[in-house]
A and B are shown apart, each in its own frame.
Chain A
């Protein structure tokens, strides 16, 4: 069965430090991969997506992610975190099944300390 695993429930990073959020997926075919960010009480904002081609994808707000097929991973990175990046981050696999549904990971909450 398809699944998305985000092993870190929460991460704390100092402002200005680098960030890496981990994501592993289980899916038989070539996946559509996404990262979303959600501020408290808000909706889902798409940060970036991977469908094919270059395995390093750039997104909004200075985020990037790298697809590694051999590790079934799609980790999110940012070289220098800002306090406004504090939020919940969801990794997701899309285009699944005849209805093209999306399956989300459990999320990683990012805390940023001054």
Chain B
């Protein structure tokens, strides 16, 4: 069964550094998403992406964040200058046209020191 993959599984970085989280969505899917889950809290929507542009973003997704689909398979989340409060699990998801069921990746655990 096709699945969403994410790399790396864990990343540790210093405050102020840039990080790029990578995702490979399911190949025929058209909508792509990033969600965040701070330890012990609920999963929060960050951004949705369709047709090479952001279709919706939350208030969390400020100027420090950006997303890109650099080629036909990858979908990335960049955090320009990480803060301590960016420490969280980041989930990528994708869905086909119609957007009924989102398929989530295994997550990247980001720790900012």
A100's contact among B48, B104, B109, by CB below 8 Å, is which? B48
At the interface, yes or no: B16 with Cβ under 8 Å from chain A? Answer: no
B42 touching A101 by the CB < 8 A rule? no
Q: Which residue of A lies closest to B104 (CB)?
A: A44
At the interface, yes or no: B100 with Cβ under 8 Å from chain A? Answer: yes
Chain B interface residue number, banded = 20 to 34
CB distance from A89 to the nearest CB of B (A): 12
At the interface, yes or no: B107 with Cβ under 8 Å from chain A? Answer: yes
At the interface, yes or no: B75 with Cβ under 8 Å from chain A? Answer: no
B107's contact among A43, A49, A102, by CB below 8 Å, is which? A43
CB distance from A43 to the nearest CB of B (A): 4
* Residues of the A chain whose Cβ atoms lie less than 8 Å from the Cβ of B50: 99
A98 touching B56 by the CB < 8 A rule? yes
At the interface, yes or no: A53 with Cβ under 8 Å from chain B? Answer: no
User: Once the chains are docked, how many angstroms separate the CA of A96 from the CA of B74?
Assistant: 24
At the interface, yes or no: B11 with Cβ under 8 Å from chain A? Answer: no
- Supposing A43-B91, A97-B56 touch, asked if A104 and B102 sit within 8 A by C-beta, the answer is no
- Supposing A43-B91, A90-B43, A104-B44 touch, asked if A99 and B100 sit within 8 A by C-beta, the answer is no
* 11 interchain pairs, CB-CB under 8 A: A32-B101, A36-B104, A42-B106, A43-B106, A49-B100, A94-B100, A98-B56, A99-B31, A101-B48, A102-B93, A104-B44
10 additional contacts, CB 8 Å, given A32-B101, A34-B101, A99-B99?
Answer: A36-B104, A43-B105, A43-B106, A44-B43, A94-B102, A95-B99, A101-B45, A102-B33, A102-B45, A104-B44
A interface list, Cβ under 8 A from B: 32, 34, 36, 41-44, 46, 49, 51, 90, 92, 94-95, 97-107
